Structure 1
Amino acid sequence: MSQTSSTPARPQLPPVSRRGFLAGVGALGLGAAVAACAGGGPTSAGAASAGGKTPLAFWTGFTGGDGPVMQDLVDRFNAEHEGIAVTMTTMEWADYHAKLPAALTSGQGPHVAIQHLDSLPTSAARGLLEPVDDVAADLALTADDFIPTVWDAGIYAGARYGIPLDVHPLALFVNTGVVADAGLDPAAHPLDRASYEGALDTLLARGVAGHWMSPHTFTGGQTLQSLIWQFGGDLFDGEGATVAWHRDEGVEALSWMVAAVHRGWSARDVGQDADIIALQNGQAAYNWNGIWSINTLDSIPSLTWDVSRLPRIGSVDAAWAGSHNFVLTRQRGTTDAQLEAARTFISWVSEQSAAWAVGGQVPARRSARESAEFAALAPQAAVAEQVDDLRFIPSVPGIGDAVGELYTALNEAVLLTKAPAEALADAARRADEVLADNRDRYAR
């Protein structure tokens, strides 16, 4: 069911500041402080800091609107835990993954970190992470309180390496002003193929290319993956050993994206991020983008917008999603006190999942998604309606290298330089070679 409103404007959030909401969530008892441990002895971050606090280095890639929200949580944690001092370092994800191995080897890396679910098995296979089975057990975390696919994907080679924090799905963003100007109902979003294509035809008759199709990883890559699943296909076989995206379902999915360009529903040669900018500027009505776009759109006072689950273009409800997971790193010089402090920190932040959702996320924990605090975040709650239909890349070391070949096929086809079937088949051959190489590289 889509999120709707009685006016063209997006549903209003509660009249409360982000910091005020975070404080309110803590006051309601969603987070229970765990007794802090005293520090001691030399560590990778130096000896215990002044006042006997255990220093804890925490790395993330939260450079967008979610960064300040996590920093607020870190500040609250430090204020409530006198024996622990968490320092958060934020950098672009590409820099994060490039710097992490050397930093851990030198003892200058994080003790606790955030990793994307699809990067987690690669880091585990490279020996960068410590298993967290005991953390999950000590904190009484079970599959019953998490999205099953996300919980299961945190396991590599029989051990758990990730504690899920959130999921960040693809969703349908709507410029309700553009929709209304075309004579369409801004409160009734088209959520099946016939109504979606009908809306795009109506917009085209008014001179509007309603859905700009990105040929780039963000967000064309996530759109293509969602469509492959919607048409009943898959990216890989069950174990992630070989590619499946070049089969009929994948060809049908990519052909639909290319047809959008040929039919004029999309502009041609769409640049990186030009699709979401077109939505913001009133040049497009619809954009398939990540939930992380909520805070970006919310910061534009003149924009009237809404968000809902993805339309079903094929025969199956499905949407691409990623997930941020807490991990413990394997680092020279880490003390037992720091490991215990990291457990305390992970537990506390996990219990604040409803507060973390303010940054534009869907909590991985069911108890947080069912809370009144999360329900009050109307855009996030609307995206979460498709939580049972979310799909994830297989938990296989080096899988991102293979998926990169799919993005090449996307680029070739949507830019009209190669037919969809040929582009996907060529990409599949290259990706199968990558997968074979990775099996040797990450053999355990």
Structure 2
Amino acid sequence: MFKSKKHLLFIVMALLLISSFAVSAQDSVTITFWSPFTGPDGQTIEEMVNEFNTTAGPEAGVQVEMLIVPWDEYYTKLTVAMASNQTPNLAIAHSHRVPAFAQEGTLLEFTPEALETLGITGEDYIPALWNAGEYEGARYALPIDAFPRNMFYNKTVFENAGLDPEAAPTNMEELTAALDAIKASGGEDMVPLFFSTSGSWAAREFYSLYMQYEPNLLNEDGTGVSENFQEAATKALEITTGFIDDGYALATPGDWTALFAQDQVGIVFAQITHLLSLSQIEDLDFGTAGFPTLGDTPANFTLGHNFILPIGSGQDEAHINASLTFINWFGDHALAWAAGGKVPATFAVIENPEFEAMEAQAIVTEQMDAMMLPPIIPEQSEIDVIVQENLEAIYGRQSSIEDAVNRMADEINALLG
């Protein structure tokens, strides 16, 4: 259905994007922009869109009409819109979602001419984030941030346990010592460590630990799992189930933020996107740290948010150029987005003294060399479901590690083979 339309629009885009992307004031254009950000993230993106619409937008003749669609329904609604040709002009997508959309022919390409017009080059970006936006030699996404796994730790809990509130654990030995101290000092309601045992977060924690033993999820030709998959997956899951068996963590932990705010959780494996919401909790004294190296080498599973241009009936030269105008402005104001709790995608923001003053974000950004993104394949979302379901079976005591790991391997191999 999409292939012929895709090829036609590639030709059209190649012609359109050679032209200037600025829109004159007398030809004002309104673009629709779908954003999945809610909570503090939603506040930040709304403030940025409002700023654009009252400053640079009128000067360029561009107005952004943003619709917030919560994450739990975002991709379903976007996919339906793509199928019905009623897409927004501009949208957000996780890096691992881009290949499937591109394969289906539902995205416009950011051509070399468009990138040149925007002044964008790959050297300006964290390599892993930049590479994730390409599929089969074409660019379909422009990265705006990354959100690796990291730690938050409760400084009050650390002090009560006799631990240094300015020194987060960095390895297994330090982490175990901290958990022992927290467990000994806290009451029966104290949870020394929180990590997710269900949903997408469980998979992200697993990937981080797995990649500390084996950097590749798949074999070289992408037809199945890595030859070291079972061994690395088993080691990773022995760590997480060990935390539960030793009484450090809960198999069904529930929502951690309220307990963390009440000084009932010591350490949390999470992602930097929670920074702003935690900072808004009165009297909560917490620290931010990188994800610890519990395996053989540092590795940190990471995803990123990207701008995409969905194919739809509303995409014409004026609207495409208007979207590029907003993207260009957003890049110039990316510091404001990073302040909301993100690792910036570009070195220009990372090296900005104002960003370096954002202590928590800067600490997490120090892990950029250890950031590991998922394979750039259309099937990645399906692989995530396989991993997630088997993890939930393990943590729910419905499966052994050995059986679940073998099922993961078999199901992924069948999917790709």
- Residue type at the aligned position of 2:234: V
Q: CA deviation at 1:275?
A: 3.6
- Residue type at the aligned position of 2:94: H
Q: CA deviation at 1:410?
A: 1.5
Give yes or no for the alignment of 1:81 onto 2:57: yes
Q: CA deviation at 1:299?
A: 1.4
Q: How many pairs align?
A: 390
How do residues 115-264 of structure 1 correspond to structure 2 at under 5 angstroms?
115-134=93-112, 135-207=114-186, 208-244=190-226, 246-264=229-247
User: Which residue is 2:16 aligned to?
Assistant: none
For residue 65 of structure 1, give the secondary structure of its aligned residue in structure 2: helix
Task: Please tell me whether the aligned partners of residues 203 and 384 of structure 2 are also in contact (alpha carbons under 8 angstroms).
Answer: no
Equivalent residue for 1:405, pick from 377, 386, 408: 386
How do residues 283-302 of structure 1 correspond to structure 2 at under 5 angstroms?
283-302=264-283
Q: CA deviation at 1:179?
A: 1.0
Deviates more, 1:197-206 or 1:112-121: 197-206
Q: CA deviation at 1:52?
A: 4.1
Give 5+ residue unaligned stretches, structure 1: 1-33, 40-50, 437-444
Q: CA deviation at 1:267?
A: 2.4
Task: Please tell me whether the aligned partners of residues 228 and 234 of structure 1 are also in contact (alpha carbons under 8 angstroms).
Answer: no
Q: CA deviation at 1:218?
A: 4.4
Task: State the alpha-carbon separation in 2 of the partners of residues 239 and 66 from structure 1.
Answer: 38
User: Which residue is 1:37 aligned to?
Assistant: 23
User: Which residue is 2:89 aligned to?
Assistant: 111
TM-score by length of 2: 0.89
Distance change (3 Å), C-alpha of 1:65 and 1:286: same
Q: CA deviation at 1:149?
A: 1.1
How do residues 42-81 of structure 1 correspond to structure 2 at under 5 angstroms?
52-79=27-54, 80-81=56-57
- Residue type at the aligned position of 1:329: P
Q: Percent identity?
A: 29
- Residues 263-318 of structure 1 deviation map (CA, whole Å, 9 limit, x = unaligned): 111123323xx344432332221001011111121111121101011111012111
Task: State the alpha-carbon separation in 2 of the partners of residues 278 and 434 from structure 1.
Answer: 39
User: Which residue is 1:313 aligned to?
Assistant: 294
User: Which residue is 1:27 aligned to?
Assistant: none
Distance change (3 Å), C-alpha of 1:97 and 1:268: closer
For residue 429 of structure 1, give the secondary structure of its aligned residue in structure 2: helix
- Residues 335-388 of structure 1 deviation map (CA, whole Å, 9 limit, x = unaligned): 211111111111111121111112211110011111012122221111111111
Q: CA deviation at 1:239?
A: 4.8
Distance change (3 Å), C-alpha of 1:35 and 1:412: closer
- Residues 201-250 of structure 1 deviation map (CA, whole Å, 9 limit, x = unaligned): 22222244311342113432211110011123532224543123742111
User: Which residue is 1:347 aligned to?
Assistant: 328
Deviates more, 1:204-213 or 1:278-287: 204-213
For residue 309 of structure 2, give the secondary structure of its aligned residue in structure 1: strand
Task: State the alpha-carbon separation in 2 of the partners of residues 299 and 68 from structure 1.
Answer: 13
Task: Please tell me whether the aligned partners of residues 234 and 401 of structure 2 are also in contact (alpha carbons under 8 angstroms).
Answer: yes
Q: CA deviation at 1:426?
A: 1.0
Task: Please tell me whether the aligned partners of residues 165 and 364 of structure 1 are also in contact (alpha carbons under 8 angstroms).
Answer: yes
Task: State the alpha-carbon separation in 2 of the partners of residues 301 and 239 from structure 1.
Answer: 51
Task: State the alpha-carbon separation in 1 of the partners of residues 194 and 135 from structure 2.
Answer: 38
- Residue type at the aligned position of 2:154: N
Equivalent residue for 2:416, pick from 435, 440, 444: 435
For residue 265 of structure 2, give the secondary structure of its aligned residue in structure 1: coil
For residue 196 of structure 2, give the secondary structure of its aligned residue in structure 1: coil
How do residues 332-343 of structure 1 correspond to structure 2 at under 5 angstroms?
332-343=313-324
- Residue type at the aligned position of 1:37: V
Distance change (3 Å), C-alpha of 1:35 and 1:394: closer
- Residue type at the aligned position of 2:38: T
User: Which residue is 1:358 aligned to?
Assistant: 339
Give 5+ residue unaligned stretches, structure 2: 1-19
Task: State the alpha-carbon separation in 1 of the partners of residues 305 and 260 from structure 2.
Answer: 27
Q: CA deviation at 1:136?
A: 1.9
Task: Please tell me whether the aligned partners of residues 115 and 327 of structure 1 are also in contact (alpha carbons under 8 angstroms).
Answer: yes
Q: CA deviation at 1:35?
A: 7.5
Q: CA deviation at 1:113?
A: 1.0
How do residues 352-391 of structure 1 correspond to structure 2 at under 5 angstroms?
352-391=333-372
Task: Please tell me whether the aligned partners of residues 118 and 399 of structure 1 are also in contact (alpha carbons under 8 angstroms).
Answer: yes
Task: Please tell me whether the aligned partners of residues 35 and 69 of structure 2 are also in contact (alpha carbons under 8 angstroms).
Answer: yes
Task: State the alpha-carbon separation in 2 of the partners of residues 233 and 329 from structure 1.
Answer: 32
Distance change (3 Å), C-alpha of 1:98 and 1:178: same
Distance change (3 Å), C-alpha of 1:254 and 1:275: farther
TM-score by length of 1: 0.83
Task: State the alpha-carbon separation in 2 of the partners of residues 238 and 77 from structure 1.
Answer: 44
Task: Please tell me whether the aligned partners of residues 239 and 394 of structure 1 are also in contact (alpha carbons under 8 angstroms).
Answer: no
Distance change (3 Å), C-alpha of 1:238 and 1:345: farther
Task: Please tell me whether the aligned partners of residues 242 and 432 of structure 1 are also in contact (alpha carbons under 8 angstroms).
Answer: yes
Task: State the alpha-carbon separation in 2 of the partners of residues 117 and 195 from structure 1.
Answer: 33
Q: CA deviation at 1:394?
A: 0.9
Task: Please tell me whether the aligned partners of residues 260 and 266 of structure 1 are also in contact (alpha carbons under 8 angstroms).
Answer: yes
